[in-house]
């Protein structure tokens, strides 16, 4: 298998694990994680400088997950790349599990920040990026944000300060699926022209298809090569990607599948 095929295979396995996790927990968010699976497969397999056996390695790149409700995608990527045994994924959302429904650093190494209360992650990243610069550390701070979070004022305060401090060690990427909990983002609270807004603030802007593996890789590589200021990659994604009855349906933001729906989803995914 060549590299792109290997990443595609990881993305498919991430999606299948996400479906199993949310179904067995009987609660959780399947839509966002399915939409982010290709991006997380690229990050964990190709882009991030990390060591699954040493999650606190000082030189690791940091990944801040701001839209914490999509954490199933991160847990699946971690479980499939050696952070912990894959079997642990099925403890998702159980009491005392390390895999809480909204990620918590109290329970799990390798998460970098607790999240779930939306809008905070970009600010956390600005702090980490400033800290890294002060300590002359060379790692990159990757930050996953969602479009729904752009309804939070704090996102824009962070966007402003990242430019003020010229944080070239900060690469944010957005899950631009046009959906949030209450429906279409443009109907709930218009966001467009969203990428342009960041660009006007002073961010470098890259736009890419969040389901095309070579495009995702080149977007991150381009972002890494930019030496001035913070960079945002806006990934156009499809909520529920890979499971036809979930695609682009806001209902699947936070609804677990039934056992029958799980079987249908896995059947589709295994042949994808």
Ligand X SMILES: Cc1ncc(C[n+]2csc(CCOP(=O)(O)OP(=O)(O)O)c2C)c(N)n1
Residue entry with tokens 């009987």: 26
Among 129, 174, 179, 223, binds ligand X (CB under 6 A): 179
**Residue 271 Cβ, how far from ligand X at the closest point, in Å?**
25
112 touches Mg ion (CB under 5 A): no
Among 155, 161, 177, 231, binds Mg ion (CB under 5 A): 177
Residues 7-26 that bind Mg ion (CB under 5 A): none
118 interface partner picked from Mg ion, ligand X, none, CB below 5 to 8 A per type: ligand X
33 touches Mg ion (CB under 5 A): no
155 touches Mg ion (CB under 5 A): no
Among 23, 123, 155, 180, binds ligand X (CB under 6 A): 180
89 touches ligand X (CB under 6 A): no
The string of DSSP codes covering 132-150 is HHHTT----EEEEEESGGG
253 touches ligand X (CB under 6 A): yes
Burial class (CB in 10 A: 0-12, 13-18, 19+), 187: exposed
Measured from the CB atom, is 121 or 132 closer to ligand X?
121
121 touches Mg ion (CB under 5 A): no
CA distance 92 to 49: 26
125 touches ligand X (CB under 6 A): no
CA distance 199 to 126: 17
Burial class (CB in 10 A: 0-12, 13-18, 19+), 268: middle
Measured from the CB atom, is 68 or 139 closer to ligand X?
68
146 touches Mg ion (CB under 5 A): yes
147 touches Mg ion (CB under 5 A): yes
Nearest alpha-carbon partner for 159 in 169, 139, 148, 170: 170
Residue 11's alpha-carbon distances to 81, 149, 178, 243, 272, in angstroms, are: 11, 24, 21, 13, 10
Nearest residue to ligand X on Cβ basis: 148
Among 161, 177, 204, 231, binds ligand X (CB under 6 A): 177
159 touches ligand X (CB under 6 A): no
CA distance 241 to 195: 22
Nearest alpha-carbon partner for 112 in 80, 139, 82: 139
Which helix (H) or strand (E) segment is 63 a member of? strand 62-65
Residue 201's alpha-carbon distances to 95, 161, 198, 224, in angstroms, are: 42, 10, 5, 20
Residue 94 in tokens: 């159980």
239 touches ligand X (CB under 6 A): yes
Which residues form the interface with Mg ion (CB under 5 A)?
146-148, 177, 179-180
Which residues form the interface with ligand X (CB under 6 A)?
31-32, 67, 69-70, 116-119, 146-149, 175, 177, 179-181, 239, 253
């Amino acid at each position: 298998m060549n590299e792109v095929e290997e990443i595609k295979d990881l993305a498919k396995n991430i999606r299948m694990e996400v479906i199993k996790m949310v179904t067995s927990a009987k609660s959780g968010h399947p839509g966002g994680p399915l939409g982010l699976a290709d991006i997380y497969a690229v990050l964990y397999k190709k882009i991030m400088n990390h060591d699954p056996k040493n999650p606190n390695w000082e030189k690791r790149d940091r990944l801040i997950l701001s839209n914490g409700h999509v954490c199933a995608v991160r847990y699946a990527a971690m479980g499939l790349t050696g952070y912990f045994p894959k079997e642990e994924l099925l403890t998702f959302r159980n009491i005392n599990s390390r895999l809480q429904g909204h990620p918590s650093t109290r329970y799990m190494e390798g998460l970098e920040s607790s999240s779930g209360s939306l809008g905070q992650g970009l600010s956390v990243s600005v702090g980490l990026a400033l800290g890294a610069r002060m300590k002359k550390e060379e790692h990159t701070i990757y930050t996953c944000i969602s479009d729904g979070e752009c309804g939070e004022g704090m996102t824009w305060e962070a966007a402003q300060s990242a430019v003020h401090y010229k944080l070239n060690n900060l690469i944010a990427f957005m899950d631009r699926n046009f959906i949030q909990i209450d429906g279409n983002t443009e109907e709930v609270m218009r966001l467009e022209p969203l990428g342009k807004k960041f660009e006007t603030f002073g961010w470098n802007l890259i736009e890419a298809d969040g389901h095309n593996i070579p495009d995702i890789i080149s977007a991150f590589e381009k972002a890494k090569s930019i030496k001035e200021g913070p960079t945002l990659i806006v990934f156009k994604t499809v909520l529920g990607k890979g499971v036809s009855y979930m695609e682009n349906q806001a209902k699947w933001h936070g609804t677990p599948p039934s056992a029958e729906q799980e079987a249908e989803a896995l059947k589709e995914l295994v042949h994808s």
